[in-house]
Homo-oligomer: A and B are copies of this chain.
Amino acid sequence: MTLIEMGKNAKLAAGQLMTASTPLKNSALEAIADALIKNTDIILDANKKDTESAKARGISESMLDRLTLTSTRIASIADATRQVASLPDPVGQVDSTVIRPNGLKISRVRVPLGVIGMIFEARPNVTVDAAVLCLKSGNAVILRGGSEAIHSNIALTEIMQNALEKAGLSRFSVQIISDTSRETAKELMRLNGYIDLLIPRGGAGLIRTVVENATVPVVETGVGNCHVYIDEHAQIDMGVNIIYNAKTSRPSVCNAAETLLVHKNIAEQFLPKAYEKLREKNVEIRGCSETVRILGNVKPATDTDYETEFLDYILAVKVVDSVDEAILHIKKYSSGHSECIVTDSYPTAEHFLSQVDAAAVYLNASTRFTDGGEFGLGAEIGISTQKMHVRGPMGLTALTSIKHIIYGNGQIR
A106 to B360, CA, bound (A): 9
Contacts of A407 in B (CB 8 A): 363-365
- Copies assembled: 2
Q: 1/0 per position for A364-391, CB-CB distance to B under 8 A?
A: 1110111000111000000000111111
Q: How far apart are the CA atoms of A287 and B241 in the complex, in Å?
A: 74
Given the complex of chains A and B, what is the CA–CA distance between A218 and B214 in angstroms? 12
Query: Are A366's CB and B413's CB within 8 A?
Result: yes
Min CB–CB distance A363 → chain B (angstroms): 5
Within 8 Å by CB of A235, from B113, B331, B392, B410, lies: B410
User: In whole angstroms, how far apart are the Cα atoms of A410 and B228 in the complex?
Assistant: 13
Are A215 and B212 within 8 A (Cβ)? Answer: yes
Q: Given A363-B406, A363-B407, A100 and B215 touching (CB < 8 A)?
A: no
Classify the interface of chain A: helix, strand, loop or mixed: mixed
Q: Tell me how many residues of A have a C-beta within 8 Å of chain B.
A: 67
Q: A113-B388, A245-B412, A410-B235 are in contact. Are A403 and B359 (CB under 8 A)?
A: yes
Taking the complex as formed, is A80 at the interface, i.e. its CB lies under 8 A from any CB of chain B? no
Complex-state Cα separation, A249 to B411, whole angstroms: 13
A400 vs chain B, min Cβ distance (A): 9
Asked if A355 CB lies within 8 Å of chain B CBs, one says yes
Q: Of residues 193 to 221 in A, which have CB atoms within 8 Å of B's CB atoms?
A: 196-197, 211-212, 215, 217-219
Give the residues in chain B near A197, CB-CB below 8 Å.
387-388
For the complex, what is the distance from the CA of A238 to the CA of B410, rounded to whole Å?
Answer: 6
Distance between Cα atoms of A245 and B412 in the complex (Å): 6
- Residues 315-356 (chain A) with a chain B CB within 8 angstroms: 331, 353-355
Closest B residue to A376 by CB, please name it. B98
Judge if A404 is at the interface, Cβ distance under 8 Å.
yes
The reply to whether A412 and B212 form a contact with Cβ atoms under 8 Å apart is no
CB-based contact B211/A192 at 8 Å: yes
Taken residue by residue from 392 to 408, chain A's Cβ proximity to chain B (1 for < 8 Å, 0 otherwise) reads as: 10000000011111111
25 examples of A-B residue contacts, CB within 8 angstroms: A98-B376, A104-B369, A111-B357, A212-B215, A217-B387, A219-B388, A241-B412, A245-B412, A249-B412, A357-B403, A359-B404, A361-B403, A363-B407, A363-B408, A364-B407, A364-B409, A365-B409, A365-B410, A365-B412, A366-B413, A369-B406, A388-B389, A390-B402, A391-B401, A391-B404
Query: Which residues from chain A sit less than 8 Å from chain B, CB to CB?
Result: 15, 18-19, 98, 100, 104, 106, 111, 113-114, 192, 196-197, 211-212, 215, 217-219, 235, 238, 241-242, 244-246, 249, 331, 353-355, 357-366, 368-370, 374-376, 386-392, 401-413
Q: What 3 A-B pairs come out closest when comparing CB atoms?
A: A365-B408, A245-B412, A387-B401
